[in-house]
Amino acid sequence: MLSIIVTHHKTPILLKICLDSIKESFGAARDNIDYEVIVVDSEAELSVQKLIKEKFPAAKVVSFSKNVGYAKLVNSGIGLSREEGKYLLFINADIIISKNAVEQMVDFIKNHPQVGIVGPQLLGFNNLPQKSCFRFPTIASIAARRIFLGKTNWGKKKLDYFLMNDADFSSPRTVDWLQGSAMLVRKEYAKKVGEWDERFFLYFEDTDWCRRFWQNGYQVVYLPTTKVFHYYGRASKKWGGVLDAFLNQYTWIHLISALKYFFKWRKIGVTVDNEVFSLNQ
């Protein structure tokens, strides 16, 4: 049993495309995978509720009148998922599921009991790969991303390390953390790790959760052979450099979440296995 949790915030056109892709993806796989759809809607609108009923009348819906933050949306979806379910698939409403993508992720995690989270490669609508797996952030890597230091040789080295630009992604491999836009999770392990930390309103909640999986001995794996499409708008980077640091609301939210993250983990080390999987595994 698979629970697909779709998180949505004021992008009804993308939500429609996302729900259509779920229908199409599971059209041929319905006999192989028993699944349910849960839509968690932030700052909900009546028109969106009508859209969900039209596209997925059997879907469960959680609606919030206010923007409650991403972690709260995810936790609400988990709370509604069927108790007997084995896997949780988290996707944002701006994700388009490609054919066989979910089956491939489920097959991989089934065959690797040490894996708690697996994430696909994200492709933009231009068919180019997007960065979605990373090493754990440091204060230096945040500084390099947010201000002019990223243009210096020092900053470029910090960013290259954070972005795993030295890694070979031709095969599935363990990574420190995965972007929360699309990830498949073993529900049994998620229960042991615990809910997403709602102190992170936006940003770093996925980093924190992946870190907690590693802390509990469960691997986080990037699966580049499985691909989904992602409409990506980086809200925290609008003007660039110092202007963003002072004027962009989402940059401030990102920095506040970073401070919470570094404070939370300031005295807690985590061991990450460096493992590359054979394509035949």
Residue whose pair of structure tokens reads 């989904």 in the numeric block: 228
Model confidence at 145, pLDDT cuts 50, 70, 90, reads confident
State the burial class of residue 223 (Cβ atoms within 10 Å of its Cβ: 0-12, 13-18, 19+). Answer: buried
Q: Are 189 and 195 in contact (CB under 8 A)?
A: no
Which whole number is the average pLDDT over 61-86?
A: 96
Q: What is the DSSP string of 16-37?
A: HHHHHHHHHHHHTTTTT--EEE
As a whole number of angstroms, the distance between CA 47 and CA 51 comes to: 6
Name the band, by pLDDT with cuts 50, 70 and 90, for residue 28.
low
Report the Cα–Cα distance between both ends of the chain, in Å, rounded: 23
**How far are the Cα atoms of 2, 77, 145, 225 from residue 195, in angstroms, in the given order?**
18, 11, 28, 28
Confidence of residue 251 (pLDDT cuts 50, 70, 90): confident
Per the prediction, the chain carries an average pLDDT of 90
Predicted local confidence at residue 232, as pLDDT:
75
272-to-7, 38, 173, 175, 269 alpha-carbon distances in Å: 28, 32, 12, 8, 10
Residue 236, pLDDT > 90, answer: no
Per-residue pLDDT at 26 exceeds 90 = no
Please give the Cα distance from 90 to 6 (Å, whole number). 6
The tens digit of pLDDT for each residue in 91-114 reads 999 999 998 999 999 999 999 999
pLDDT tens by residue, 157-196: 999 999 999 999 999 999 999 999 999 999 999 999 999 9
Distances (CA, A) of 24 to 30, 97, 127, 232: 10, 9, 19, 22
| Pairwise CA distance, residues 220 & 242, whole Å | 34
Q: Is 67 exposed, middle or buried (0-12, 13-18, 19+ CB in 10 A)?
A: middle
Total-model pTM: 0.91
CA atoms of 209 and 76, how far apart (whole Å): 16
Residue 242 has pLDDT above 50, yes or no: no
- CB proximity list for 200: less than 8 A, separation 6 or greater: 69, 70, 71, 208, 257, 260, 261
3-state DSSP assignment of residue 230: strand
Domains within the chain, CATH numbers bracketed:
2-135+175-235 (3.90.550.10)
Please write the tens of the pLDDT for every residue from 36-53. 999 999 999 999 999 999
